[in-house]
Structure 1
Amino acid sequence: MNKRPWKTLLVIVADPFASEQPALTKAMALSLRTGARLVLLNTFMIPQPVNDVPMDSRQQIIASAIRGRRERMEALVANSRLGAVKCIVTWDYPTHEAIVRQVLKTKPDLLVTASHRHGRLARWVLANTDWELIRQCPCPVWFVRSPEMAREPRILVAVDPFHAHDKPAALDERLVHEARVVGEQFGGDVSLVHACHIPDLARPVRLLVLERAKQAVQDLGARHGVDAEACEVKAGTPEEIIAAIERRDSVDLLVMGAVSRSIEAHPVIGNTAERVIDRVACDLLVIKPPGFKVPALTTAAPRPVIVRNGAGVRNKRAAAHAG
């Protein structure tokens, strides 16, 4: 597999008027460190009230909302040190399908979006749109939980060498490969973890299962240049083991696979991933197996609204474009 650097990052700006933009802040840091081009996307269904057009003109209201949101996005990056930035605003729904449609058009190396904490002391919880992106987005999805980018990020990869949770064999290879791409671009350390399920057997048999699992994880790491010392296998459930190591090692990025299985033609991911994701506090990079195909979307894209005289954004280094 080719460890080529990222070329394009698609960044979800959920609310261009919000005072804090964690996904954009993190994406800008990723872009400055890697040279990747940024494409900003805001998609909305119900425009905010506007004063400059007749309220009975649906098309004009939407067009005015698109202009206002795009101008705000342009302002967010106008004084940055980035190169060309493309700002896209679409009136489309539902949100996750609108994003997937843009992913299919833009073909980014990575989708960057924010994850939110529910209350000061509550755990991180992904919204329904986030779960749908995990199920349907064809490119890797980076869920931002901290806007800061560590100078040398600690990257933890959750692997399953025996495919106990229905993961295809090629997925582990891709997970470690993508983690190494991140590590090489940012000078970060990559480690592997496997939570091994051990049946209630005699102690010698349990030790043998653990030893086999450890060897399989080390072999996987060796194929990607990860030292044996950075490969860890522990007996227990994934949500307990992975969350404990994430806290112990102050992990900056957890890399996990998402296995889509069809139930009544609707893709779902396993409960294991859901339990793990809600128990860790670091950023998440979720990756599909090789050959993943986007399921049929439930809605067609609405007819585009023509926005005339849209202004482009110009920052210190280059002119950007409004989509």
Structure 2
Amino acid sequence: MCVEHLTEFHGLKVFEFPAEGRKDGLPAAGEVAWRLGHDWSADKDIEAIWPVFLESVDTSRVTALIFGPWSDHMYDEDASAEVARLVESADRLPSLKAFFLGDIVSEENEISWIEQTDLAPVLEAFPGLEELGARGGHREFTPVRHANLRTLRLESGGMSAAVVRGIASSELPALERLELWLGVENYGGDATVEDIAPLLEAGRFPSLRHLGLQDSESQDAIAQAVARAAVVPGLTSLSLSMGTLTDAGAEALLGGQSLTHLAELDLHHHFLSDGMVARIREALEPAGVTVDLSEQEKPDEYDGQAWYYVAVDE
């Protein structure tokens, strides 16, 4: 569940562009991350607000841009028109370094109802882009080569295997941070460990320093794969958080390759026993690893069976 809008993006405070537009009182174009979204009070969607933004702001200096809800009936529309709108205006945004599509909270639309679209055209239109993020149901990602992208963050309650495979087939030599919320099969999250395997190869993304494979109902299997993955020695931080990690997955991590070189290991929202929590702390914290073991969950019980749940699905 996503309950708060972004307040900072690409190192900049977020500023909500007023739907009516104005030139007086606006911050300098390059000093904030500009957020545009459907104005509920004025009943204006991004299609109406976008031309006002282009005329009111010196977009040649805009470095960070966020799209929130694109309309009041977005559950019937994917984000393809918003991507097209941005791509068509690429010449007006020569300094753009960061873009986030779908800064939408649960009271506006559940994450599983947000229909995303192929983000590869954004990367193709903005060769200088350094950070790309999106929230929603990710179904496709055309493999792309991009020389400057450093951060890719896709949030989802159910991410298609096609997206994982598309990213793995992309050439992203500058990519330092990759974060994927994989979600559950019930909402389209059908990526398997086999689909994820190419992301775990050494040299797939030679600059990668942070890897997040999160929010998965197969978190134990992912942890077992990560425990022997060639990519791990080159990382400085690793996140296997938000999913259904149990003692079985944590045992694999402890019994696999050393993780003491990491600065951070994020396992928050997990189903580990008290004893396993203590073992992980004893193994890693004396070596200087910051370990996030917050949100220790207990499985729900239905008909005598334990049910493990991810942090974000619907």
Q: Tell me the TM-score normalised to structure 1 length.
A: 0.29
TM-score under structure 2 length normalisation: 0.30
